[in-house]
Structure 1
Amino acid sequence: MVQDEQPRDLSNRINRMRRRYQTEKPVISIQRAKFFTEKWRELETSGLPLGMRVAYAIKNVYEKMTHHLDPDDRLAGAWTEHFLGWPIDIERGLFNDVLKVELSKSTMLAYQTRAYSRFMGYLVRRHGPKGAAKLLKNSAGLGPTPVNVGLKTLLDREINAFAIDPADNRVLQKELLPYWRGRSVADRLAEELRAAGLPDGEMARFIDGVPNTPSKQVFIVGVGASIAAYQGHLVLDHESVLRLGLLEMRREVDERLAGLAETDGEGRDFLLSLAISLDGLMVFCRRLADRIEEALLAEREPRRKAELGRLLAICRRVPLHPAVDFREAVQALWTHRVAVELAHPDNVHAYGRLDQLLYPYYHADRAADRLSREEARELLEELLLKVMAQNIRPESNFLGNFYLRYEGSTPITLGGRRRDGADAVNDLTYLLLEAADRSKSVTSIVVRVHRDTPDELYGAVADRLAGGTASFSFMNDEVLIPAMERYGYAAEDARDYAITGCTDLLAPGKTGGMGFAGLLLGRLLDLTLHNGDARMLLGPIAGAGPRTGEPDSFADFAALLNAFFVQADHQVKLCLSASNLRDRVFADLLPAPMISAFIRGCADRRRDVTRGGADYNLTGINMINSLANVIDSLYVIRRLVYEEKRFSLGALVRATDENFVGHEAILAAVREVSGKWGNGEPECDALAREFTDRLFALVEKRSTFKGGPVAPFLNSMTSHTLDGRLSPATPDGRRAATPYAASCNPYNVERAGLTGVLRSVAALDFTRQLGCAVNIRQHPSALGAHPETRRKWIDLVRTYFRLGGAQLQPTVASADTLRAAQRRPDEHRDLIVKVGGYSTYFVDLGREIQDEIIARTEHQAT
């Protein structure tokens, strides 16, 4: 495919926009929270069904919000009244306590004082004064605490700081947060989990006792089990928005209502909630156009006046009516996204297969000479930056070293196969690669490949990676289409898969929001080696898992492995009990009619997406922290304990309990074991395959609240660093309070180069999972400018996928460059890296995550 024009320098407009997104503080906006709460309270005694109350409350936001229009905008629409803002989804309440605590030093001090007083009380009650003192001393010896104990507020902290108008903050603190205290979904979920004994016993007392973040994004329900307290991870039915327009979609709801049986009261209530939602969305669109018209009347500069005139004409038409050209299609997608994201913030809404959605409009405009590549590319550059700017959230400063400003977890999917199986790569695929590279947005770009993918596409991605833009990753259709079919997707829908979240597979516009749980593999091994008791850096937790035997009671390696899966099964049950409870709480308290209007199946079944109305429903269990450390630990145990009989399992366990201090001979023996996972050694790779097959089997065919299957995922995000910093040593030689391996990465034990790494990873059966991340860090020389070097790199990636690899996401940056960015961040603002499954600016990361990325094995040219 020949690219017909050479790229020019980035426009001043896009450059200004990117720099502002990189440097300005996001502003916390209360207008969504205020107007949602206003209508919610007004309808409190109305007797209206809950879905209709939600729809009316969101419509009230659309009717009263202030629309921001920036002088540089050629795509109109923002979810707050600010250039860079964040709206509060106060009814869900994930961040309500963060806002209550962390907007002033006095409330932070009070929170910390209570937390540490409770913590010391717990330690003394549990271990006595001397035992508590010893634990604290031992913990301090492992290095600085990963928890920030300073008094840096949301407003003045170093990482991911926010701003808020003082008057808005007073309304937030005195009116809005007090009303939702105990009413938010997060608060109600916390109550329900505790009532259900999730967690229970000593684990519950431990969770109550230790200092914790005020964020309610994640709930710990067992030593090795947690759940995300939100639903989301969606790709909406953007195709219908472009093809039909909102007015026609609204007419179809009326048609369904007219044909409904009089006895179907619940179905009528649901369809009415869709009608109200679509009416509200059209209010948003019309008021946005009104704001553009207001700016047009006030504008005096001729060029900007012409831009506003064109923008007004577009926004008067779309997305109310079908899009007729490329500019309309891009604006329709953006307007729709902004409005739905405002209705459900931080829910991880991705666009899906953008090159397929927009190509008919692009092709027609180019054929008619109505649009240049440069005009189209600049519009896409703006779109990618705006998508990035909506992926922010006010994480608590207590764990600020493990978070970041923008998460590239609302990816764009490119390439792959069409629904009929043909290659889907087109001109727009390449143009989007250019736009991503030039804009330096951290919005992740997922490139689907298969055996018929042209080398030119691999080369185009390699060109961008070599330039230091690590927002690109590959997904292998040859493995992942069968994986989709395994979990119940029809063949055409499987071929049409898109990515949301970090690396999560779904059928766009047809899959309901995926709730997630986390299964902490290192903790499962710890339970296995301690007969169901758990080691924490601050003391043991008795009875956290089933009694499966003391270390030296296992007659052989098979018995040990069976014990591990007894522990794993117990924690999986905790994950699913908590996940199903969460999904029920959402269905009972916060239905999502705005989402349901754009997920196929919901209108046909007259059932909200939170109750399983979508064509496909999934629950995910993310198996993390860490695959490599547990595989290597099991490999070491089998080799040194059961085969070579160098020492007993009990002796190895005692060594890990004491962080190998005084057990240097055992540590040396462990580290000398060759052939660990990541070297392409058949023996260890076979163990890894057996281990993951049994792990995946634990979650297959489980029941869920919404009726869909449970699927495994393998993506640690940043949790491998945080959980590792809070975890004891492991038998593979990993020391206490150090990071685990990330996602599907080996643990920096590679001795056979990148070829060995990829061979080991590809040994796993990735047709049994629906999302994984394989991070590699390469020196720029590995993708050097020489054609032969580039040819070898492409051949290596193709071979990896032919062997069965599912995903690959390279960061091409030397350790020297990354360390220079730590020293001089302002000179490296555009440096993008892969963290877990998403992209972000390296300089926006906390120091702990930066150091972990630098510590990853750096692969040179092959």
Structure 2
Amino acid sequence: MSHFGELTKRMHNFREELLNAKPMVCVERAKLITDSYSEHADKPMVLRRALCLENILENMSIFIEDDTLIAGNQASSNRSAPIFPEYAMDWVIDELDEFEKRDGDVFYITEKSKEVLREIAPFWDHKTLKDRGLAGMPAESRVFYDLGIIKAEGNITSGDAHIAVNYEKVLKLGLINFKERTEKKMKELDLTDYRNLKKSYFYRSILIVIEAVVVFSKRYADLALKMAGKETDASRKAELVEMSRILNKVPYYPAETFHEAVQSLWMIHLILQIESNGHSLSYGRMDQYLYPFYKEDLKSNKINEASATELLTNLWLKTFTINKIRSWSHTRFSAGSPLYQNVTVGGQTVDKKDAVNPLSYLILKSVAQTKLPQPNLTVRYHRGLPDDFMKECIEVVRLGFGMPAFNSDEVIISSFIEKGVAEKDAYNYSAIGCVEVAVPGKWGYRCTGMSFLNFPKSLLIALNNGVDPESGIKLCEGVGHFKDMTSFEEVMKAWEKIIREFTRHSVIIDSCADLALEEVTADVLCSALTDDCIERGLNLKEGGAVYDFISDLQVGIANLGDSLAAIKKCVFEDKNFTPAQLWDSLINNFEGEEYKKIQEILVDEAPKYGNDDDYIDLLLKEAYDIYIDEIKKYKNTRYGRGPIGGTYYAGTSSISANVPQGAGTMATPDGRKAGEPLAEGCSPSHAMDKNGPTAVFKSVSKLPTHDITGGVLLNQKVTPQMLAKEEDRMKLIALIRTFFNRLEGFHVQYNVVSRDTLLDAQKNPEKYRDLIVRVAGYSAFFNVLSKQTQDDIIERTEQAL
């Protein structure tokens, strides 16, 4: 038996069933929403969205699994992915016959389903979010999108999410409270003011959606009762009757027991995934808002630790049933079909005390027992985090599925307060998706997750006088060609000119996506469950949230720093070769004896980020600071419309974008060849960090972490043998504490798997069905990843303690 015990027999069976499930493409939602949009084409968009969700919840297939204690399904079968045609339909039709042939993230589809999608596709011509988003992009910005320098496909082919709604309020007050508040606000409106007329549409939409949620829940209640009538096993019959009782009550009425709270939580979380296909929909600080229910049920003997653990493992299994299909080009940015459904535990209370409680331990235990890529588990670290809890966290890390990740209270809370977040809210933050952070129930969409900006490619264009060297397209005025530069200062001037201009275009592209989302879609339930949308009568895209800060994502941080350091040292200081010789070697991809020697010097003699070398670390900070200074100038589309903020900050949570963005980037001055992956997150380039994990931590700590509030993603990799002994596990705890306490680290997470295991898994995938790896800020089954992404993970540096 493992340190955390084993799944109960039925949860084990449920897990096996899910792992064996074939990921199908489900067309039910696509058909139902097309019917609804057609019927209600004359109505305001927010009402149209409410009515389409109502139609889906009233008519989609429902089922209750034999082994489950909680009910609710996203699609016609578990692990199937619905199609969301209102966001984008072109790629769906283009790739219908390719889903099964993908190199990774394979989905299966029947010929009948293909026929349904082809039948409804014409309805969506020129009506989708993607159509509107692309049409709205100015030509001078669209070229950055088309060339892949600024990647924003996810923003215009799916919903937003990257949010945690106010689950605590739903559990305590029930949807009845949201309904009553909505009705009160609606009665107060003076409809002679056109702005209030628009608010009335939003309020009517909330009432429609709340009633639809009630109907959906009651459908399961009736099904459970029907199943109970046919059940011969007395114990299961009683469970189904109880399930029916609970589903007739929540989420409309407040939850009163732990079981009711878990079912209510799941039902809301599920419907939010049905409403919109945006990922990174997160659970927030679950150990805080669920604990009162757990504590009270323990006291009254309604539950014990074992039964509570089973309910939690059941919730994680249901969480894993949700799936999402993306276009192949977008899939490469999110390898492994991740949903990034984050659960946060630990941290501090709003009165600055340690927040760890018995449920925090139980969540660790249940996630460890289930051992799946979902949910994405994050621990909020602070200086007072108990040693016993840290030890339990490391025991989970040892299991080798990339969890938990650790985020630092000291850095994140102060960073929030600096930006205008109220102290009590800052102390209540949670992880969202990967490593991004926000205040649950009070923050708008995409605290991190806007467009991706390729830093190394931007540098190459800067060196080429503003011309993309691969396409030959002139993107903006530069300051001259690298071949003609006589000092490193000219290189930095070129970088500054280009990165400021590219940042400006990234904001334009973001705004085009946001305006399209505001015009074409409206997430009614998600908005209703986020403060202060009801009070303001505004949905999230209109400025309804209390806070609305967002972040773009910068890709190839380490490559940028290593490239600048190589240019400075090898060209202008040591004069190993001229700017012209280096540029020619890049154009020729280091092919040929002369250029290969240049590559060797770049790799072997130039300082590398990740080794605690101020030469490179401070140079990278200088270059990054230019971007940060520029992005701070800009506002999002909600600025001045209600929320605190409405501004930008930086973020390195680039998920698996380093692989496809590397594939589209020519050779770089750090010695990297064309097509090779870029460095992920803020992690060092593969095999370039040679001085151990402490040196990596020190390099990362020199980044302006308080300004990179969108997340400072750091992956580390150790072998299982490194954590086999108690003394080594204590060393890791001490290392993590040093990183956060003394070096002001933002985030760290661990892959605990050997290179040999990964190589064998590539050759013999049938032996490694359960092998899970940390890809970026999330985990995925190794076997579902493309070979290119697998290779990228294999090549990461293995650290010794």
Give TM class, smaller chain: over 0.9
C-alpha separation between the residues in 2 aligned to 1:646 and 1:188?
Answer: 51
Residue matched to 1:829: 769
Structure 1 residue 169 corresponds to structure 2 residue 166: no
> Contact conserved, 1:437 with 1:469, CA < 8 A, in 2?
no
Give the superposition deviation at 1:244: 0.6
Give the secondary structure class of the aligned counterpart of 2:650: strand
Residue matched to 2:560: 630
> Contact conserved, 1:599 with 1:614, CA < 8 A, in 2?
yes
Give the secondary structure class of the aligned counterpart of 1:162: coil
Give the secondary structure class of the aligned counterpart of 2:716: strand
Structure 1 residue 250 corresponds to structure 2 residue 179: yes
Give the superposition deviation at 1:221: 6.8
> Contact conserved, 2:92 with 2:327, CA < 8 A, in 1?
no
Structure 1 residue 650 corresponds to structure 2 residue 580: yes
C-alpha separation between the residues in 1 aligned to 2:502 and 2:6?
Answer: 54
> Contact conserved, 1:223 with 1:544, CA < 8 A, in 2?
no
> Contact conserved, 2:566 with 2:607, CA < 8 A, in 1?
no
Q: Greater shift after overlay, 699-708 or 265-274?
A: 265-274
Give the superposition deviation at 1:101: 2.5
Aligned to 2:550, which of 604, 616, 619? 619
Residue matched to 2:739: 800
Residue matched to 2:380: 448
Give the superposition deviation at 1:621: 1.0
Residue matched to 1:482: 414
C-alpha separation between the residues in 1 aligned to 2:397 and 2:148?
Answer: 40
Deviations, residues 436-462 of structure 1 (Å, cap 9, x unaligned)? 111011121011101111122221111
C-alpha separation between the residues in 2 aligned to 1:185 and 1:400?
Answer: 18
> Contact conserved, 1:607 with 1:613, CA < 8 A, in 2?
yes
> Contact conserved, 2:103 with 2:785, CA < 8 A, in 1?
no
> Contact conserved, 2:485 with 2:491, CA < 8 A, in 1?
yes
Residue matched to 1:857: 797
> Contact conserved, 1:471 with 1:832, CA < 8 A, in 2?
no
Deviations, residues 34-77 of structure 1 (Å, cap 9, x unaligned)? 222222211223xx322112111211111222212111121101
Residue matched to 1:418: 349
Aligned to 2:693, which of 746, 749, 754? 754
Give the secondary structure class of the aligned counterpart of 2:302: coil
Residue matched to 2:647: 709
Structure 1 residue 38 corresponds to structure 2 residue 31: no
Provide structure 1 residue ranges, at least 5 long, that are not aligned to the other structure. Answer: 105-152, 204-218
Aligned to 1:87, which of 69, 82, 88? 82
Give the secondary structure class of the aligned counterpart of 1:98: helix
Q: Which amino acid aligns with 1:177?
A: A
Residue matched to 2:787: 847
C-alpha separation between the residues in 2 aligned to 1:224 and 1:596?
Answer: 28
Residue matched to 2:643: none
> Contact conserved, 1:242 with 1:319, CA < 8 A, in 2?
yes
Aligned to 1:189, which of 133, 150, 155? 133
C-alpha separation between the residues in 1 aligned to 2:92 and 2:670?
Answer: 41
Structure 1 residue 50 corresponds to structure 2 residue 45: yes
Residue matched to 2:717: 777
Give the superposition deviation at 1:595: 1.6
Residue matched to 2:598: 666
C-alpha separation between the residues in 2 aligned to 1:722 and 1:812?
Answer: 25
> Contact conserved, 2:558 with 2:684, CA < 8 A, in 1?
yes
C-alpha separation between the residues in 1 aligned to 2:330 and 2:423?
Answer: 43
Give the superposition deviation at 1:28: 2.2
Give the secondary structure class of the aligned counterpart of 2:136: helix
Give the secondary structure class of the aligned counterpart of 1:505: strand
> Contact conserved, 2:162 with 2:278, CA < 8 A, in 1?
no
Deviations, residues 113-155 of structure 1 (Å, cap 9, x unaligned)? xxxxxxxxxxxxxxxxxxxxxxxxxxxxxxxxxxxxxxxx324
Q: Which amino acid aligns with 1:657?
A: I
Give the secondary structure class of the aligned counterpart of 1:285: helix
Residue matched to 1:74: 69
TM-score (norm 2): 0.94
Structure 1 residue 59 corresponds to structure 2 residue 54: yes
Structure 1 residue 742 corresponds to structure 2 residue 680: yes
> Contact conserved, 2:372 with 2:401, CA < 8 A, in 1?
no
Q: Which amino acid aligns with 1:244?
A: L
> Contact conserved, 2:282 with 2:342, CA < 8 A, in 1?
yes
C-alpha separation between the residues in 2 aligned to 1:284 and 1:468?
Answer: 38
Residue matched to 1:681: 613
> Contact conserved, 1:780 with 1:813, CA < 8 A, in 2?
yes
C-alpha separation between the residues in 1 aligned to 2:487 and 2:606?
Answer: 21
Q: How many residues align?
A: 780
Give the secondary structure class of the aligned counterpart of 2:780: strand
Residue matched to 1:129: none
Give the secondary structure class of the aligned counterpart of 1:680: coil
C-alpha separation between the residues in 2 aligned to 1:719 and 1:601?
Answer: 34
Q: How much identity, in percent, do the aligned residues show? A: 29
The aligned runs of 1:366-381 (5 Å cut-off) are: 366-381=298-313
C-alpha separation between the residues in 1 aligned to 2:684 and 2:626?
Answer: 20
> Contact conserved, 2:80 with 2:323, CA < 8 A, in 1?
no
Structure 1 residue 237 corresponds to structure 2 residue 180: no
C-alpha separation between the residues in 1 aligned to 2:12 and 2:298?
Answer: 26
Residue matched to 1:529: 463
Q: Greater shift after overlay, 663-672 or 61-70?
A: 663-672
Aligned to 2:149, which of 223, 226, 234? 223
Residue matched to 2:642: none
C-alpha separation between the residues in 2 aligned to 1:18 and 1:697?
Answer: 48
Give the superposition deviation at 1:429: 1.0
The aligned runs of 1:480-519 (5 Å cut-off) are: 480-514=412-446, 516-519=450-453
Q: Provide the aligned C-alpha RMSD in A.
A: 2.0
C-alpha separation between the residues in 1 aligned to 2:330 and 2:707?
Answer: 33
Q: Which amino acid aligns with 1:80?
A: A
Distance 1:394 1:637, change over 3 A: closer
C-alpha separation between the residues in 2 aligned to 1:402 and 1:270?
Answer: 34
Structure 1 residue 541 corresponds to structure 2 residue 479: no
Q: Which amino acid aligns with 1:70?
A: E
Residue matched to 2:208: 276
Deviations, residues 393-431 of structure 1 (Å, cap 9, x unaligned)? 2443x7877764441511111111112221111111111
Distance 1:183 1:241, change over 3 A: same
Aligned to 1:302, which of 191, 210, 234? 234
Q: Greater shift after overlay, 340-349 or 582-591?
A: 340-349
> Contact conserved, 2:103 with 2:787, CA < 8 A, in 1?
no
TM-score (norm 1): 0.87
C-alpha separation between the residues in 2 aligned to 1:688 and 1:455?
Answer: 35
Give the secondary structure class of the aligned counterpart of 1:618: strand
Residue matched to 1:99: 92
Give the superposition deviation at 1:587: 1.1
Deviations, residues 685-743 of structure 1 (Å, cap 9, x unaligned)? 22222222222112113122111011211022112112212221111111112111111
> Contact conserved, 1:154 with 1:394, CA < 8 A, in 2?
no
Q: Which amino acid aligns with 2:502?
A: Q
C-alpha separation between the residues in 2 aligned to 1:678 and 1:572?
Answer: 26
Give the superposition deviation at 1:850: 0.9
Aligned to 2:318, which of 374, 386, 403? 386
Deviations, residues 493-528 of structure 1 (Å, cap 9, x unaligned)? 111111222211111011111260111101111011
> Contact conserved, 2:400 with 2:752, CA < 8 A, in 1?
yes
C-alpha separation between the residues in 1 aligned to 2:401 and 2:116?
Answer: 42
> Contact conserved, 2:181 with 2:534, CA < 8 A, in 1?
no
Residue matched to 1:198: 141
C-alpha separation between the residues in 2 aligned to 1:169 and 1:648?
Answer: 57
Give the superposition deviation at 1:558: 2.5
Q: Greater shift after overlay, 444-453 or 254-263?
A: 254-263
The aligned runs of 1:302-451 (5 Å cut-off) are: 302-396=234-328, 404-407=335-338, 409-443=340-374, 444-451=376-383
Residue matched to 1:137: none
Q: Which amino acid aligns with 2:72?
A: G
Deviations, residues 449-493 of structure 1 (Å, cap 9, x unaligned)? 011111222211111222223132100111111222233321111
Residue matched to 1:809: 749
